[in-house]
Chain A
Amino acid sequence: MSSWLPKSAAGRRWLGLAPSYFVIGIFMLVPMIIMGVFSFLEPNPYGGVKPVGSLDAYVKLFFEYDLEDNLVFNPGYLNIILRSFQLSFGATLLCLIFGFPVAYYITLQPENRRNFYIYLITIPFWTNLLIRTFAWIIILGRGGVIETPLLAAGIIEDSLRMMYTDGAIAIGLTYSYLPLMVLPIYASLEKLDFRLLEAASDLYANRLEVMTKVVIPLCKPGIIAGCILVFIPCLGAFIAPNLLGGGKKLMLGSLVQFQFASARNWPFGAALSMLLLSAVVVTLIFYARAAKKRAILEGHA
C-alpha cells in the first residue's frame, strides 16, 4: 500500500469520502452559511448587504413600524406563509391521489414494461419547468384549451376564470412534482410481496380492505418519502405561483425570489429562506423519528 495513505481505517474512510464532503461543503454548506449571515445584516438599497449587524429582517417577518414608529404586529407575511403551507399541502394531497394509482398500476405490469413506464414518468424532467408551467397558461387561460370548446359548445357562457387562482397554483404544483411522488411510491410497491395480497383476500378482506390494511401500510415509507419530496419543493416554489397565480397570490418561494430580485432586501429574503429551511428540517426530523420507531417495531432496526 502506498505510504501517503492514512494508516488508520477511519482515516482512509475519511479520505475516500473527502470528494463528497467537498461537494456538499462548497455547494450546500457555504451558500447556507452565507444566507444565514446575510439574514443578520442590513440591506443595501441597491441590492446586496451592508456589513452592519441587525435583527430587522426577522422582526419584519412578524411586525411592522406604524406611522408613529411603533412596532405593531403584521400578519401579512404570516398569512403568506400559511397560504404556502395550505397550497403545498393541497398539492401534496393531489399528487398522492394521482400518484399512488399510477405507481400501483406500473407495479402490476410485466417487468420489461415497468421500466418503460418509469422512463415515461421521467420525460417531463427533460423540459424546463418554466416552459412546462407556461403550457398550463395555454390550457387553463382565457381562450385556452379547456375554455374554447366549452364556450363554442355553449356549455358555459363566460370565461371560467381559472387562471390566477389558488386552484391554478395547486394544479401547477401538482403537475410539476407528481413524478417525485410516483417514483418513491413505486420503489416501495415494487418491493411489496404480492402474495400478501392473496393472503389478505384469502382471509376475507375485500379489495378496499386489501388496499387499506395491507398495501398502504406496507408502502407507507414510500408514501411518506413521496409526500416529503413533493411538499418541500412546493413550499419553496416560485414559478407556478408567479405564472399561474399572476404574482398576486404569493407563496413563500415567490416572496423570497421577490426580495432578492425586485425589492432588493437581501437580508429579509435570507431570513425568509432560513424560516423555510427550519420548517423543512423540522418536517424531516419528525419523519426520521417515525421511520426509526417503525424499524425497531418491525424488528429489522
Chain B
Amino acid sequence: MTTAIDIRGVTKVYNPDSNQAFKALDNVSVTIADNEFFTLLGPSGCGKTTLLRLIAGFEQVTGGEIMLFDDEIENLEPNERPVNTVFQHYALFPHMTVAENVAFGLERLRKPRPEIEATVERVLTLVKMKELGDRRPGQLSGGQQQRVALARALAPSPKVLLLDEPLSALDLKLRQAMREELKQLQKETGITFVFVTHDQEEALAMSDRIAVMSNGEVQQIGGPTDIYEHPVNRFVADFIGDTNFLDGEIVSLNDDLVTCRIGTESMFDAENSGGHKVGDRVTLFLRPEKITLSAPNDANGEDSRPGKVANIVYLGNQAAYTVDMGDGVELTAQARPREDGNLPFTIDDPLAVRFSTRALRVLAQ
C-alpha cells in the first residue's frame, strides 16, 4: 500500500519565544495510506486543525517532518503543494461566480481553457451544482456553498484532499446526507481524504481509519470498530460514544478473567487483556448498549444482577436509564420504548441487569 502522507514526530509550538508559548502538537506520528478516508478526531484545541494546516502549508512545523508521497514538502509554499483544502467556513470568493470559484485552481495551474471548462462542469455535476454555476456564493444556501467548496477543492485533482470540519456549519439533516455523499465521493474519486472533526458519530460513519487526538498528542489510531470497541485509554473510551466507567481494584485473576472489586463489595468479572496483577487499580468500561434490562421475574439466568431505575432520559427512539446497582455503583443502559410508545420501566422499578463478561474491558489508567 502506498503511503500518501507520512507525519514523523511533528511538533508545533506557537509563539515559541514568548511567554505565551503554546505547544499545539507534541511529537505526532501518523501514516496515512493512499486512497484512504482518514479522520483526525478530537475535542477543540486538541491540535487536529493545526495538523491539517501543517499539511496544507499554512503553518510551519517546529520539529519533525511531513512527507507527501515520499516527497519532502516542508519548504514548499501552500500554492506549491498538491493538496487542496475544504475550509470550515467554505472561504468561497464572494466576487466570483460558482463556476469561477471552481475554475480558480485550474487557472492558476495554467490549464488550457477547454480543459478547465470541462473539469468545472464535471466536478459541479459531481456535487450536483451544475445548474447554479452562474450564481454568486452570496446567493447560495449553506449546504450549496459547502458543495461548491468541495467542487473547488476537487477540481484540480489534488493528491490529498484536506477537509476542516466541513459539515459543522450545516444543520443535522443536511449533515447526515453530506456524510454519505462525502464517503461516496471519496470512493469515486480515489483521492485520499484527511477529514478533521470533533463529531465522533461523523468519524465513525465515514472513516476507514481514525486518529483520536487530545492535548496535541495522538491517543489511538485504528478503524472505527477498533476505536469504539477497543479504546486504549479512558480518554478515547470517553470521547467516543457513551460509556460506563467503573473504578476498582483487581482482587483475583486467571487466564481468561480478572475479578475486580468496585465500590466496597461489588465484584465484576472482565476479560483479561493481559499484564494485570492482583491489587492493581483499574478502570472497567462497559458500553450502555451491551447491557440488557428486564423485569426481575423475566430473568432466568444466574448471571443477572439486581438493580433499580434511578433516572430516565427519554430520547425518542430509545431511553437512557441510570440504574442503581447498590453499593454506590451506577450504570447507564438503554431500552427501547414498547410498541405502544410507553417506556418499559419507570423510576424505582426493580430490574434484572445482564451483561456479558466479554463486554466489560479493563482500560489502562
Contact = CB atoms under 8 A, between A and B. Distances in A.
A218 B94 contact: yes
Interface residues of B, number: 28
Q: Which of A195, A201, A202, A297 has the most CB of B within 10 A?
A: A202
B56 interface: yes
B314 interface: no
B169 interface: no
Contacts of B224: none
Given A198-B78, A297-B136, A203 B94 contact: no
B92 to A, nearest CB: 8
A205 B95 CA distance: 16
A150 to B, nearest CB: 41
Contacts of B84: 202-203
A275 interface: no
B79 A218 contact: no
Nearest to A205: B108
Interface string B55-67: 0111000000000
A203 B108 contact: yes
B87 A199 contact: yes
A204 B108 contact: yes
B95 A298 contact: yes
Contacts of A138: none
A10 to B, nearest CB: 32
B269 to A, nearest CB: 53
Contacts of A195: 87, 89, 91
B93 interface: yes
Contact of A199 (B83, B85, B109, B136): B85
B160 to A, nearest CB: 12
B79 A199 contact: no
A198 B91 contact: yes
Interface in A175-207: 193, 195-196, 198-206
A33 B135 CA distance: 47
Given A195-B87, A217-B95, A298-B138, A209 B58 contact: no
Q: Which of B79, B80, B84, B139 has the most CB of A within 10 A?
A: B79
Contacts of A193: 91
A209 B108 contact: yes
A201 B79 contact: yes
B156 interface: yes
B104 interface: yes
A300 B138 contact: yes
Interface in A204-236: 204-206, 209, 213-214, 217-218
Given A202-B56, A204-B108, A213-B104, A196 B93 contact: yes
A298 to B, nearest CB: 5
A203 B58 contact: no
B248 interface: no
Contacts of A298: 94-95, 136, 138
Contacts of A205: 79, 104, 108
B19 to A, nearest CB: 16
A56 B354 CA distance: 109
Contacts of B92: 199
A299 interface: yes
Contacts of B104: 200, 203, 205, 213
Interface string A229-250: 0000000000000000000000
A299 B138 contact: yes
Contact of B93 (A199, A201, A299, A300): A199
Nearest to B100: A213
Contacts of A297: 136
Contacts of B108: 203-206, 209
B77 interface: yes
A199 B91 contact: yes
B103 to A, nearest CB: 10
A299 B138 CA distance: 6
B308 interface: no
Contact of A202 (B85, B95, B136, B139): B85
A25 B94 CA distance: 40
B47 interface: no
B196 to A, nearest CB: 15
B209 interface: no
B166 interface: no
Contacts of B57: 201-202
Interface in A250-301: 297-300
Contacts of B136: 297-299
B296 to A, nearest CB: 59
Contact of A201 (B78, B89, B94, B95): B78
Interface of A: 193, 195-196, 198-206, 209, 213-214, 217-218, 297-300
15 contacts: A198-B56, A198-B78, A198-B87, A199-B91, A201-B57, A201-B79, A202-B78, A202-B79, A202-B83, A202-B153, A203-B156, A298-B136, A299-B135, A299-B136, A300-B138
Closest 9 pairs (CB-CB, A-B): A203-B105, A204-B108, A299-B138, A199-B91, A299-B139, A201-B78, A195-B91, A201-B79, A204-B79
Interface of B: 56-58, 77-80, 83-85, 87, 89, 91-95, 104-105, 108-109, 135-136, 138-139, 152-153, 156
Given A199-B93, A204-B105, 20 more contacts: A196-B93, A198-B78, A198-B85, A199-B87, A200-B104, A201-B57, A201-B77, A202-B57, A202-B78, A202-B83, A203-B84, A203-B105, A203-B156, A204-B156, A205-B79, A214-B93, A218-B93, A299-B135, A299-B139, A300-B138
